[in-house]
Amino acid sequence: MKRLMTIFLMIILLSLFYMYNPFSQEMKVNAKDSKVNYKKLTPEEQQVIIHKGTEAPWTGKYVNFKATGTFTCKQCNAPLYLSQDKFDSQCGWPSFDDEVPSAIKRQVDADGRRTEILCANCGAHLGHVFSGEGFTAKNIRHCVNSISLNFVPADNKTNSETAYFAGGCFWGTEHYLNKTKGVITTTVGYMGGDVENPTYKQVCAGNTGHIETVQVEFDPAIISFEELAKLFFEIHDPTQTNGQGPDIGEQYLSVIFYSNDEQKAVSEKLIKILQGKGYRVATTLIKADKFWDAEDYHQDYYEHKGTQPYCHFYTKRF
């Protein structure tokens, strides 16, 4: 009996030690805090990052992405890959032949055959890694879902500038602008509304005030804003007042969201030139505000689909 009482007292003392031990409490706090900065994921992001799904090939934002910088984890923002290690494998997903040191965790996939790759910091599912394919000298291919990634531009891109053009369905506008020499990267999204982080469905319903917009990052040493704006006026109908082609609605209006007074002045000059040629220009000029990226499947839409725009055509006007 005495022995049982001794064991019982020891259990109580150990329990009290764990409850009030500062080190134990610190571990609990840190474990809780470690998730505070995790991004709140959309259902689509959860399907891949948490539930280990796979996005459809050629639909991801970063498949044909060529900007210089660092790819980070969508969930925790930990650096994962450098753009210099990205290569075109024609597999339909972003491919890398190297990783940021200690950034990637490998484990046997649930299928028992492939090797799954995860963010070493938070465990987010990224994709799979393959070897022996001969794509590059390193003979490694990290096949990664775009939806698992974010991108941080390199600091040495301080000479780039950004422009925002809205000319109907952003698929067609991006298709032409992205092919232009001097354009570093394009992103389709939404601007001008009053709802935070709107979805495509919300914008199409016409009750958020957003307009389908293309964000263009360009090198002014190669192409000027004026040259881009001229192209913008030539790849859509700037005289249509209610949309673009068969796409009718406020989300399809013609707008230049200017980033500074210089862009505004250039846009005003070009509109006056067109008006002098007899065009009744409907394009409006609005100060750029918060730009919200559209869903991944909208990015580089026609390049992934392999077709041509249905309501955007090039017409020389200058």
Query: Shortest CA distance to 106 belongs to which of 123, 83, 86?
Result: 123
pLDDT band at 10; cut points 50, 70, 90: low
Burial of 288 by CB count in 10 Å (0-12 exposed, 13-18 middle, 19+ buried)? buried
Please give the pLDDT value at position 2: 52
Q: Which of 114, 134, 153 is the last residue of a domain?
A: 153
pLDDT digit string, tens, across residues 188-205: 999 999 999 999 999 999
Cβ neighbours for 143, distance < 8 A, ≥ 6 positions apart: 89, 91, 93, 94, 95, 127, 128, 129, 130
In a domain, 117, yes or no: yes
- Show the DSSP H helices in the chain as ranges: 2-20, 22-33, 43-49, 170-177, 200-204, 225-234, 261-276, 301-305
If asked whether residues 180 and 298 sit together in one domain, one would say yes
Range of the domain at 94: 43-153
Helix (H) or strand (E) holding 70: strand 69-73
| Dihedrals phi, psi of 171, to nearest 5 degrees | -60, -50
Query: Shortest CA distance to 215 belongs to which of 183, 243, 237, 242?
Result: 183
The two structure tokens encoding residue 181 = 């020499």
Q: What is the DSSP string of 56-67?
A: PTT-STTTT---
If asked whether residues 102 and 187 sit together in one domain, one would say no
Q: Which residues are catalytic?
A: 143, 169
Q: Which of 153, 181, 204 is the last residue of a domain?
A: 153
Identify which has the larger pLDDT, 105 or 184.
Answer: 105
Q: In what order do the strands lie in the sheet with 284-287?
A: 284-287, 254-258, 161-167, 211-218, 183-191, 292-293
Report strand pairing: 254-258 vs 149-153. Answer: unpaired
pLDDT digit string, tens, across residues 254-311: 999 999 999 999 999 999 999 999 999 999 999 999 999 999 899 988 887 888 898 8
pLDDT at 58 > cutoff 90: yes
β-sheet bridge partners, residue 218: 161, 183
Helix (H) or strand (E) holding 247: strand 247-248
If asked whether residues 256 and 211 sit together in one domain, one would say yes
In a domain, 248, yes or no: yes
In a domain, 28, yes or no: no
For range 231-251, the mean pLDDT: 96
If asked whether residues 114 and 164 sit together in one domain, one would say no
For residue 81, the domain's CATH number is 2.170.150.20
Please give the pLDDT value at position 222: 86
For residue 167, the domain's CATH number is 3.30.1060.10
Three-point CA angle 147, 150, 152, nearest 5°: 160
In a domain, 145, yes or no: yes
What is the pTM assigned to this prediction?
Answer: 0.60
If asked whether residues 111 and 215 sit together in one domain, one would say no
pLDDT digit string, tens, across residues 24-39: 333 333 333 344 468 8
Please give the pLDDT value at position 18: 40
pLDDT digit string, tens, across residues 89-112: 999 999 999 999 889 999 999 999
If asked whether residues 277 and 235 sit together in one domain, one would say yes
- As for how many domains the chain has, the answer is 2
Tell me which DSSP letter residue 12 carries: H
If asked whether residues 190 and 93 sit together in one domain, one would say no
